C-alpha cells in the first residue's frame, strides 16, 4: 500500500547552479534519462531557456527557480515554495559553488562570505530540509560537488579549498548516518573543469589553469551522475586526479603547501 502511494508521487531532481558549467550538463543528462527537474540559479533567463529546451527535447517537466542561494531569506522562501507545491525531491544535486583566488589578508570579505554561504551553508541547509522526506520515502540520492581541492590546504585560495574539505567530510559522515535508509550521498571531486569557474575566481591566469588541461564539463557531469545513481561514496573524476589524490596521502602539508601556493599565482 505504502509503495503504491509512493509510486504515485511525482518525483523531481533538484539541481543547483544549473544555468552553466557542470550543472547545465547534469540537467541535460538527467532530462535525457527522463527525470523531472527543478533548476535553481540566479540567471533566470538562462534557466527559462534551458527548461524550455529540455521540455521540448525530452518531454519531462522542468521548473526553473530564480534564487540567490547565498541569501538565507531567498533560500528559505525557495524551500517553502517547494513544500507548498508538494514537489517531492528524490534527487538533490548541490552543485552551485564558486572560488576566489588571492592571499587571505587581501581578499574581499563580502565575496568570501558569499562563498561560504554558497559552498557550505546552502548545501547543508538544502540537505537538511529535503532529507527527511527522502528518508520517509525510503529512497533518495544526494550528489555534492566537492573538488580535489578538498584533499589538501590551498594557500592563495584558502577558503575555497577549506570549503571543499567541508563538503567531503560532511558527505562521508552523512553517508554513514544514512546507511540502510535507501538514501545515499556521493561527493564528486573533479580537478580543473572548463567552465566559468576560473574566470569568476579571478584565477584564469594562474599556473593551475594554464598548466593543466581542464576536463570537459559534460564528462564530469556524466561521471558524477552515474556515480550518484549507483550510490557511490567519494568519487574522483579522471585518472590523473585519482593519482594525485592518492599521492597527496603521502606528502606532508609542509611540502604540498608551497607547491599549491605557486599553482595559484
Ligand atoms: N570548474 C572547475 O574547475 C571545478 C573544479 C572542481 C569543482 N568545481 C565545482 O563545481 C561546481 C560547479 O561549478 P562550475 O565549474 O560548473 O562553475 P560555473 O560554470 O561558474 O557554474 C556555477 C553555477 O553556480 C551558480 N551560482 C553561482 N552563484 C550562485 C548563487 N549565489 N545562487 C545560486 N546559484 C549560484 C551559477 O549560476 P548563476 O550565476 O546563474 O547564479 C552557475 O549555474 C562548483 O561547486 C565548483 O566549486 C569546479
181-235 residue pLDDT tens: 999 999 999 999 999 998 888 887 787 777 778 999 999 999 999 999 999 999 9
Quote the ligand 1 centre to 130 CA distance (angstroms).
Answer: 21
Binding site membership of 96 for ligand 1 (Cβ less than 6 Å): yes
Q: How confident is the model at residue 76 (pLDDT cuts 50, 70, 90)?
A: very high
- The rounded distance, in Å, linking the Cα atoms of 223 and 42 is 25
**End-to-end C-alpha distance for the chain, whole angstroms:** 60
Q: Which helix (H) or strand (E) holds 62?
A: strand 62-66
Quote the ligand 1 centre to 23 CA distance (angstroms).
Answer: 7
Quote the ligand 1 centre to 21 CA distance (angstroms).
Answer: 7
Q: Is residue 4 part of a domain?
A: no
- The rounded distance, in Å, linking the Cα atoms of 205 and 22 is 21
CATH number at residue 126: 3.40.50.720
39 forms beta bridges with 15, 64
Contact 224, 146 (CB under 8 A): no
Q: Is residue 208 part of a domain?
A: yes
Average pLDDT over all residues of the chain: 94
Pairing of strands 234-236, 183-189: parallel
**What does the pLDDT look like over 148-157, one tens digit per residue?**
999 999 999 9
Sign of the C-alpha dihedral computed for residues 196, 199, 204 and 206 taken in this order: negative
Quick one: which atom of ligand 1 is closest to the CA of 146?
7
Q: How confident is the model at residue 129 (pLDDT cuts 50, 70, 90)?
A: very high
58 catalytic per annotation: no
Residue for grid cell 552515474: 226
Residue range 167-175: average pLDDT? 98
Binding site membership of 156 for ligand 1 (Cβ less than 6 Å): no
Marked catalytic residue, from 12, 160, 166, 225: 160
Q: How confident is the model at residue 110 (pLDDT cuts 50, 70, 90)?
A: very high
Selection from 97, 101, 206, 188 nearest residue 147 by Cα: 188
State how far the alpha carbon of 8 is from the alpha carbons of 11, 88, 137, 264, in Å. Answer: 9, 11, 12, 51
Contact 60, 34 (CB under 8 A): yes
Q: Is residue 136 part of a domain?
A: yes
Selection from 165, 118, 126, 125 nearest residue 146 by Cα: 165
Binding site membership of 70 for ligand 1 (Cβ less than 6 Å): yes
Pairing of strands 62-66, 88-94: unpaired
**What does the pLDDT look like over 8-46, one tens digit per residue?**
688 999 999 999 999 999 999 999 999 999 999 999 999
Rounded to an integer, what is the distance from CA 195 to the centroid of its chain? Answer: 14
Binding site membership of 190 for ligand 1 (Cβ less than 6 Å): yes
> Whole domain around residue 103: which residue ranges?
12-263
The three cell numbers locating residue 160: 575555497
Domain count for the chain:
1
Residue range 163-191: average pLDDT? 98
Ligand 1: which residue has its CA nearest to atom 17? Answer: 197
Binding site membership of 17 for ligand 1 (Cβ less than 6 Å): yes
**What does the pLDDT look like over 56-70, one tens digit per residue?**
999 999 999 999 999
- The rounded distance, in Å, linking the Cα atoms of 163 and 253 is 17
Q: Is residue 53 part of a domain?
A: yes
6, pLDDT greater than 60: no
Contact 65, 39 (CB under 8 A): yes
Q: Is residue 257 part of a domain?
A: yes
Q: Is residue 2 part of a domain?
A: no
Q: Is residue 206 part of a domain?
A: yes
Q: How many CA atoms lie within 13 A of 124 on its CB side?
A: 14
Amino acid at each position: 500500500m505504502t509503495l503504491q502511494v509512493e509510486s504515485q508521487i511525482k518525483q523531481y531532481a533538484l539541481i543547483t547552479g544549473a544555468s552553466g558549467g557542470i550543472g547545465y550538463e547534469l540537467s541535460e543528462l538527467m532530462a535525457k534519462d527522463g527525470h523531472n527537474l527543478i533548476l535553481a540559479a540566479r540567471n533566470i533567463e538562462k534557466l527559462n531557456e534551458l527548461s524550455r529546451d529540455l521540455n521540448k527535447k525530452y518531454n519531462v517537466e522542468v521548473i526553473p527557480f530564480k534564487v540567490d542561494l547565498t541569501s538565507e531569506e531567498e533560500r528559505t522562501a525557495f524551500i517553502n515554495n517547494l513544500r507548498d507545491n508538494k514537489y517531492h525531491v528524490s534527487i538533490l544535486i548541490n552543485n552551485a559553488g564558486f572560488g576566489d583566488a588571492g592571499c587571505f589578508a587581501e581578499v574581499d570579505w563580502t565575496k568570501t562570505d558569499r562563498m561560504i554561504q554558497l559552498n557550505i551553508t546552502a548545501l547543508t541547509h538544502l540537505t537538511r530540509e529535503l532529507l527527511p522526506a527522502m528518508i520517509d520515502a525510503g529512497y533518495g540520492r544526494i550528489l555534492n560537488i566537492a573538488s580535489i581541492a578538498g584533499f589538501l590546504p590551498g594557500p592563495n585560495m584558502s577558503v575555497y579549498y577549506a570549503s571543499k574539505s567541508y563538503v567531503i567530510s560532511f558527505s562521508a559522515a552523512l553517508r554513514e548516518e544514512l546507511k540502510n535508509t535507501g538514501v545515499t550521498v556521493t561527493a564528486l571531486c573533479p580537478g580543473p573543469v572548463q567552465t566559468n569557474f576560473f574566470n569568476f575566481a579571478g584565477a584564469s591566469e594562474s599556473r593551475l589553469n594554464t598548466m593543466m588541461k581542464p576536463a570537459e564539463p559534460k564528462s564530469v557531469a556524466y561521471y558524477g551522475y552515474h556515480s550518484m545513481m549507483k550510490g557511490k561514496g567519494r568519487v574522483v573524476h579522471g585518472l590523473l586526479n585519482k593519482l594525485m589524490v592518492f599521492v597527496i596521502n603521502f606528502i606532508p602539508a609542509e611540502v604540498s603547501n608551497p607547491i599549491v601556493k605557486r599553482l595559484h599565482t
